[in-house]
Amino acid sequence: MVKTYSVRSADRVPTQCTFLYFWNGTLEQGKVWDLSESGWRTSMKHPIPPGSETTVYLALPDHDVYKYMIVNMATVCWSDGKTAGWKVSHIDEGAKSRLDQFLNGAGEE
């Protein structure tokens, strides 16, 4: 099977943070490995099919603690078993500012 790829609209920053998402009526937890303003790559306990949409909570580091931010709607673009690529479908301005702040600071470490 041949995979098709599209060009990303933003570079992904390597990171390791927890994310929470709703799937089949349950709040599930996974790990974010690469993050950008438009999406991320994750590992999860259970596979989730491409095209799935859900609310996502990203636990981003803020000094010595992790604080959750909400992505109102995220879509799974691709899935390879328990690894998946997600894109941001809808995010409010406050959360987008928080994400941008994290991404801009990540490059300075």
What is the set of domains in the chain, with CATH numbers?
A: 13-106 (2.40.10.220)
Percent of the chain topping pLDDT 70: 86
Q: By the 8 A CB rule, do 59 and 68 touch?
A: yes
Residue 60 pLDDT exceeds 70: yes
For residue 7, pLDDT beyond 60:
no
Binning pLDDT at 50, 70 and 90, where does residue 107 land? very low
Q: Kindly tell me if the per-residue pLDDT of 84 is higher than 70.
A: yes
Query: Would you state the structure tokens that stand for residue 66, as one six-digit string?
Result: 């992790």
* pLDDT(4) > 70: no
